[in-house]
Structure formats: C-alpha cells, structure tokens
Amino acid sequence: MSKFRIISIVVPIYNEEKTLEQIIAAVENADVFDLEKEMIFVDDGSRDRSKVILEKYKEKHKILYHEKNRGKGAALRTGFKNATGDIILIQDADLEYDPQEYSEILKPILDGKADAVFSSRFLGHRPHRVLYFWHSLGNRFLTGLSNMLTNLNLTDMESGYKAFTKEILDQIAPKLRSKRFSIEPELVARIAKLARQNKCRVYEVGISYSGRTYAEGKKIGWKDGIEAVSCIIWYNLFR
C-alpha cells in the first residue's frame, strides 16, 4: 500500500477572474491516481472579482485570503502552512499549465523514486505556445546561473509546476522568505541543499505550456528577472 494518501494542491491567486473558474474545474477533474485531493486557494489581495468567485467554493475547498497583495511567494507560504497532504503540488491560477499532466509530475514520487519533482517547458515533445524570445533567453540564463550554484542540471528552474513530499517540504517551508516570484529560485536552492546532503532525490519531467501575453494577464517582468539573479546568489551562497 502506498504511503501517500492525500495530495494538497496550492493555488496562489492575484486578479485571475478570467481564468479562475476554469482552473478550479480543471484541478477538480485532474487525474491524481487514487489520491484524495485537498485544494487550497490563496487569494493574494486581488482587486478584481477573484474573491467573489472563490466565495462560491468555500464549502468544498480551503479558501484563504491576504488582505493586501504580498506576492506569489507569500501566498504559497500561506498555502504550505495550511496543507495537510502527503504530497504538495503548486498550481498557478492561470491556464498556462495543464492540470491533466499532474500524473506526469506525481509518478516519480508515487513510484518511490523522487522526493521533489520540478517541471520543464523545454523537455519532451509536448506542445508549447510560441511567445517571447527574450523571456526564453532570460529563463535559460537564470536556470544556468542557478545550476552553477546548486550543482543541479535542471532545464527550467522557473517553471511553475513543482511537487514535494510533505516530509521534504516541512524541512524547507519554515526557512522560506521570498514574497514575490523569487520563490522559484529559493525553492530550488533549498531543495538543492538537501540533495547535496543526500536527503532529497530530485526529478524533472517535461510538460506542455500555453503561455500568456501581457495583454492576457501575464505579470512577471524584467524587474523580477533582476530580483531572481540576486535571490539565486543570496539563497545559494549566504542562506
């Protein structure tokens, strides 16, 4: 019998009224093998109708709120604190990542091969929407810099899908400090330190990607890239 019974899916939300009900339905219908789902939605001070939409689901799922916008990292930390599952998976509230691919993310953990699984938009044969060249180049630069300091050979450090066993997440969650998108390199840095101590087995799996344009609601920008560089250096060398 598998030791994993419950998966906690943590969804940070900020002004996602256009896609929120679609992503909730997609997560509800996603294949997670025989695991029980715990869905945790953290509204990070949205100024649109996201909060109103979430109110309709408060009897079915865990709905948490930040009074003011604090950033993706802060929302994830709130979600992690309220997660009770044996596996915790991060899901963005837009439609860039497909919940139907959860099985690919979960399989290395359920097979007993991995303790943490990172997704990659650059591995495998799955379809990808063609968008910004400079975003792609910047992502590869950040991934390369991160790999140099973590000694991991990831292909997509910034990719949104990440899954952890609760045992592993409990070791790093109290140390997490990032408030914004820099949570991605911090999570990788924290996991890498455990991997170097032979306390965490890391896998990477390919996923599809349907990226958004800025007109469609994409939020990450060049300032976040600069912050990511400083966070990669800080969390790998000094924390």
Q: What residue segments make up the domains of the chain, in order of their start? A: 6-237
Q: What is the pLDDT of residue 1?
A: 46
Give the count of beta carbons closer than 10 Å to the beta carbon of residue 172.
19
Radius of gyration of the chain (CA): 17
Indicate the pTM of the whole model. Answer: 0.91
Q: What is the pLDDT of residue 128?
A: 62
Parts of the chain with a pLDDT under 70: 1, 127-132, 134, 211-222
Give the count of beta carbons closer than 10 Å to the beta carbon of residue 67.
8
Query: Quick one: fold of 6-237?
Result: Spore Coat Polysaccharide Biosynthesis Protein SpsA; Chain A (3.90.550)
Contact by Cβ (8 Å): 222, 191? no
What are the pLDDT digits (tens) for 3-50?
A: 899 999 999 999 999 999 999 999 999 999 999 999 999 999 999 999
Written as one letter, the residue type at 71 is G
Question: What is the rounded CA–CA span in Å between residue 178 and residue 74?
Answer: 7
Q: What is the pLDDT of residue 88?
A: 98
Q: What is the pLDDT of residue 139?
A: 84
Q: What is the pLDDT of residue 235?
A: 94
Q: What is the pLDDT of residue 160?
A: 81
